[in-house]
């Protein structure tokens, strides 16, 4: 423990070598707690913004000499750790530390798929700029050691080219691949086994864990300890990987790959036979998915089954097409092992279809999601806690959970219940060191303001947002709980504010955030992912406005299943589940304001239920210690007095 105090102390290596370092007792406390947990226990730490939690767990993890997994919620934090914190640790704390950043398979190029594309690009990509892509990637492959798409800075996030070339699990040929010796994934596995610390994200971690449960192995080697940062995401990520799903797009993708391989490798007779069989599957899939309503969103699969007379016939026909195709692919694999991967993908899709449509269990909720270009069918566990208890907690020596938001109403109850952690888990709540009391104000309209759902609510919200933005001279992040509300606000503000108006969806997230930071008087309207992960210190973000308390839509099939289970067990789903989830989301949103000790600004929550409803006190108890005002005049006064902002 003394070692942590020395390292993080005023004369330690951090103070001597890290520019702008300030010793913080909370950071030392967290580092000591993590050091103790890594001796074989479990710890949950809520570390407020500004504590420096990343170094508080990385330093003891490095000094533990264990095989440690650091799992993050986002790739951004992953990149920050590997590019900023790790070089510092290796230089000043542990020169022998070996670290590798491991991403999901889809982030790496598949050499086999590249060879296919390069030999016949017209079959897989349209609207190319002549041969520029092929030349650029060929030059890159001559020097890359990782095959990581992040090195291709010229490639857009949603590039159809990368979808064609990436090393996804469903398209991997495994041991049958002729490019196996040079495979970037195989090289990654070997290097991961040699490294003491691995930086991953939650999706990769739980993907690997789910494969271990099913008897297969992914990229990650055996580990002794796991540290989860941004741990408030764990339930939603675990829900995905402890369930099962398949999509219309996966079927189309399989058929395209089969025909592409067939045209390159089969004689005419076999080509026609496998093409007819694969297209028959595609045609039947079209008939099957045509039964689903056109409305986008997530809905119960049970309702479709009960309300569609032809359901069983169309489902059986789809299964039959899968079986016939799998048999054809098995026959082809006898003479050429390259078909084993296709055959495995076909059978895995069939297995997922059967799980979602036939293996009905009260422990799972069965649902579908219609997106713009595909329909997903899913079976998700109602509870992830039993899966974690059975397959994870007893299999690892030490586990640390940390985030800026783990508590609701000052308690860890919701976090502990949803993840099913042992009762004796150590918990530690460390408040932010930022001076909310003197540098911020929380504005909630007076009780005469209409509550959400009432007549005049949207009109009043729009007027209030405009008034606050004008008082702040732009410099505002406005967060909404729905796209419809955001679009309505965009229309209202577009010809009334003299500041740049940035709207989520009008440009890539990174582009919007860069403009928001650069154009310091700009206003950013956003939903969903923008409630967290935005780091814009300084005057560019002087006001965070939230339209209403972020309760989730209870009609979502997974949310509804969890609500029903709590109710069946005699609990109160609103207070035990819906309120804590809304509190955590709200805390993430308001956490965008104070990102540095010199920051100053207004938090505005335009929802009078904070005071008019009994449950409002649980939200208020969870908010930072900002002085509360119910007067818009106080907000205006705050900004007038802040003309010297940033000059202290």
Question: 559, 618, 551: which is closest to 411 by C-alpha?
Answer: 618
Q: Indicate if the pLDDT at residue 463 is higher than 60.
A: yes
Structure tokens at 484: 């419809």
Q: How far is CA 403 from the centre of its chain?
A: 14
Mean pLDDT calculated for residue range 397-419 = 96
Task: Return mean pLDDT, the chain.
Answer: 91
- Dihedral sign from CA coordinates of 549, 550, 553, 558: negative
To which CATH superfamily is domain 436-641 assigned? Answer: P-loop containing nucleotide triphosphate hydrolases (3.40.50.300)
H or E, element range at 142:
none
Structure tokens at 1: 């423990």
For the stretch 325-375, pLDDT in tens is 999 999 998 888 778 888 989 999 999 999 999 878 999 999 999 998 899
Whether residue 52 contacts residue 24, with contact meaning beta carbons closer than 8 Å, is answered with yes
Reported in sequence order, the residue ranges of 99-175 that DSSP labels E, i.e. its strands, are: 99-101
Q: What's the order of all strands across the beta sheet hosting 297-300?
A: 244-247, 375-381, 364-370, 297-300
Taking CB atoms within 8 Å and a gap of at least 24, the contacts of 555-562 are: 556/298, 557/298, 557/299, 557/300, 557/301, 557/365, 557/366, 557/367, 558/239, 558/298, 558/365, 558/367, 558/380, 558/382, 560/300, 560/365, 561/365, 561/380, 561/382, 562/382, 562/383
For the stretch 239-297, pLDDT in tens is 999 999 999 999 998 999 899 889 877 888 889 999 999 999 999 999 999 999 999 99
Look at 150 and 494; give whichever has higher pLDDT: 494
Question: What is the rounded distance in angstroms from the CA atom of residue 289 to the CA atom of residue 247?
Answer: 10
Look at 257 and 561; give whichever has higher pLDDT: 561
- Grade residue 378 by pLDDT with cuts at 50, 70 and 90: very high
For the stretch 563-574, pLDDT in tens is 999 999 999 999
pLDDT at residue 403, rounded to an integer: 97
- Grade residue 214 by pLDDT with cuts at 50, 70 and 90: confident
484-509 CB burial, b ≥16 within 10 A, e <16: ebbebbbebbeeebebebbbbeeeee
pLDDT at residue 184, rounded to an integer: 93
Lowest-pLDDT range, 60-64, 383-387, 594-598? 594-598
pLDDT at residue 647, rounded to an integer: 34
Mean pLDDT calculated for residue range 402-410 = 95
Question: What is the rounded distance in angstroms from the CA atom of residue 124 to the CA atom of residue 109?
Answer: 15
Q: Indicate if the pLDDT at residue 127 is higher than 50.
A: no
Question: What is the rounded distance in angstroms from the CA atom of residue 442 to the CA atom of residue 628?
Answer: 5
Per-domain residue ranges for the chain?
2-98+196-241+384-430, 105-187, 244-381, 436-641
Whether residue 513 contacts residue 533, with contact meaning beta carbons closer than 8 Å, is answered with no
CA distances from 138 to 86, 124, 131, 143, 264 (A): 31, 17, 11, 9, 21
Give the global pTM: 0.91
Q: Indicate if the pLDDT at residue 217 is higher than 90.
A: no
Structure tokens at 534: 């935005």
pLDDT at residue 578, rounded to an integer: 97
- Grade residue 646 by pLDDT with cuts at 50, 70 and 90: very low
Task: Give me the CATH code for the 2-98+196-241+384-430 domain, please.
Answer: 3.40.50.300
Look at 380 and 511; give whichever has higher pLDDT: 380
Question: What is the rounded distance in angstroms from the CA atom of residue 548 to the CA atom of residue 545?
Answer: 9
Query: What Rg, from alpha-carbon coordinates, does the chain have?
Result: 27
Fold matches, 2-98+196-241+384-430 and 436-641: yes
Structure tokens at 351: 């297995």
The torsion of the CA quartet 83, 89, 92, 98, rounded to 10 degrees, works out to -100
- Grade residue 236 by pLDDT with cuts at 50, 70 and 90: very high
pLDDT at residue 215, rounded to an integer: 67
Whether residue 269 contacts residue 275, with contact meaning beta carbons closer than 8 Å, is answered with no
Partners of 201 in the β-ladder? 72
- Grade residue 131 by pLDDT with cuts at 50, 70 and 90: low
Contacts of 624 (CB under 8 A, 6+ apart): 48, 431, 432, 434, 436, 440, 590, 594
For the stretch 103-124, pLDDT in tens is 888 899 999 889 878 876 554 4
Q: Indicate if the pLDDT at residue 206 is higher than 50.
A: yes
Question: What is the rounded distance in angstroms from the CA atom of residue 232 to the CA atom of residue 71?
Answer: 12
DSSP letter string, 587-611: HHHHTTS--STT--EEEEE--THHH
Angle between helices 632-641 and 457-472 (to 10 degrees): 20
Query: For strand 440-443 and strand 601-605, is the pairing parallel, antiparallel, or unpaired?
Result: parallel
Query: For strand 225-228 and strand 68-72, is the pairing parallel, antiparallel, or unpaired?
Result: parallel
Q: Indicate if the pLDDT at residue 496 is higher than 90.
A: yes
Mean pLDDT calculated for residue range 200-219 = 84
Question: What is the rounded distance in angstroms from the CA atom of residue 6 to the CA atom of residue 394?
Answer: 33
For the stretch 27-85, pLDDT in tens is 999 999 999 999 999 999 999 999 999 999 999 999 999 999 999 998 788 888 999 99
Q: Which fold has domain 244-381?
A: de novo design (two linked rop proteins) (1.20.1440)
Q: Indicate if the pLDDT at residue 540 is higher than 70.
A: yes
- Grade residue 2 by pLDDT with cuts at 50, 70 and 90: low
Mean pLDDT calculated for residue range 187-204 = 94
Question: What is the rounded distance in angstroms from the CA atom of residue 466 to the CA atom of residue 494?
Answer: 11
């Amino acid at each position: 423990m003394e070692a942590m105090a020395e390292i993080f102390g005023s004369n330690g290596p951090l103070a001597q070598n890290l520019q702008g370092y300030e010793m913080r007792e909370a950071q030392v406390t967290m580092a000591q707690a993590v050091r103790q947990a890594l001796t074989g226990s479990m710890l949950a730490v809520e570390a407020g913004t500004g504590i420096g939690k990343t170094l508080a767990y990385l330093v003891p993890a490095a000094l533990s000499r264990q095989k440690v997994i650091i799992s993050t919620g986002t790739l951004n934090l992953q990149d920050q750790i590997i590019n900023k914190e790790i070089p510092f640790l290796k230089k000043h704390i542990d020169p022998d530390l070996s670290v590798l950043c491991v991403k999901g398979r889809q982030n790496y190029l598949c050499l086999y798929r590249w060879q296919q594309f390069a030999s016949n690009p017209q079959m897989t990509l349209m609207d190319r700029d002549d041969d520029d892509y092929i030349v650029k990637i060929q030059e890159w492959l001559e020097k890359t050691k990782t095959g990581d798409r992040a090195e291709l800075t010229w490639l857009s996030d949603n590039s159809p080219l990368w979808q064609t070339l990436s090393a996804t699990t469903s398209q991997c040929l495994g041991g049958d691949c002729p490019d196996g010796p040079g495979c970037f994934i195989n090289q990654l596995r070997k290097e991961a086994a040699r490294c003491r610390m691995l930086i991953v994200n939650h999706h990769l971690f739980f993907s690997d864990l789910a494969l271990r449960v099913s008897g297969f192995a992914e990229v990650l080697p055996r580990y002794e300890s796991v540290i989860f940062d941004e741990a408030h995401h764990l339930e939603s990520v675990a829900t995905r990987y402890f369930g099962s799903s398949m999509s219309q797009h996966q079927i189309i993708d399989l058929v395209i790959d089969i025909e592409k391989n067939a045209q390159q490798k089969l004689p005419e007779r076999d080509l026609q036979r496998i093409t007819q069989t694969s297209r028959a599957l595609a045609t039947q899939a079209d008939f099957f998915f045509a039964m689903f309503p056109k409305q986008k969103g997530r809905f119960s699969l049970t309702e479709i089954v009960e309300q569609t007379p032809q359901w069983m016939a169309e489902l059986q026909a789809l299964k039959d097409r899968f079986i016939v195709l799998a048999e054809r692919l098995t026959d082809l694999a006898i003479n050429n092992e390259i078909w084993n991967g296709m055959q495995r993908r076909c059978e895995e899709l069939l297995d997922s279809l059967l799980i979602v449509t036939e293996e009905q269990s009260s422990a799972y909720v069965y649902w579908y999601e219609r997106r713009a270009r595909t329909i997903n069918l899913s079976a998700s566990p109602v509870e992830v806690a039993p899966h974690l208890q059975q397959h994870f907690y007893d299999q690892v020596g030490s586990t640390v959970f940390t985030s800026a938001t783990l508590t609701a109403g000052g308690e860890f109850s919701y976090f502990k219940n949803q993840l099913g952690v042992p009762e004796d888990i150590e918990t530690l709540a460390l408040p932010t060191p930022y001076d909310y009391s003197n540098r911020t104000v929380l504005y909630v309209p007076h009780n005469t303001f209409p509550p959400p759902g009432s007549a005049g609510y949207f009109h009043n919200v729009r007027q209030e947002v405009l008034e606050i933005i004008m008082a702040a001279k732009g410099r505002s992040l406005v967060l909404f709980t729905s796209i419809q509300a955001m679009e309505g606000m965009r229309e209202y503000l577009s010809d009334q504010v003299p500041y740049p108006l940035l709207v989520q969806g009008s440009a890539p997230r990174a582009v919007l955030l860069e403009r928001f930071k650069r154009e310091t008087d700009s206003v950013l309207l956003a939903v969903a992912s923008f409630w967290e992960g935005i780091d814009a210190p300084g005057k560019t973000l002087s006001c965070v406005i939230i339209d209403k308390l972020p309760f989730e839509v209870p009609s979502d099939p997974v949310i509804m299943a969890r609500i029903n289970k709590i109710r069946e067990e005699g609990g109160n789903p609103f207070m035990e589940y819906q309120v804590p989830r809304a509190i955590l989301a709200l805390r993430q949103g308001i956490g965008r304001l104070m990102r540095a000790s010199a920051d100053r600004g207004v938090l505005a929550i335009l929802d009078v239920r904070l005071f008019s409803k009994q449950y409002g006190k649980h939200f208020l108890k969870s908010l930072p210690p900002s002085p509360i005002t119910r007067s818009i005049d106080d907000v205006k006064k705050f900004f007038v007095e802040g003309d010297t902002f940033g000059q202290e």
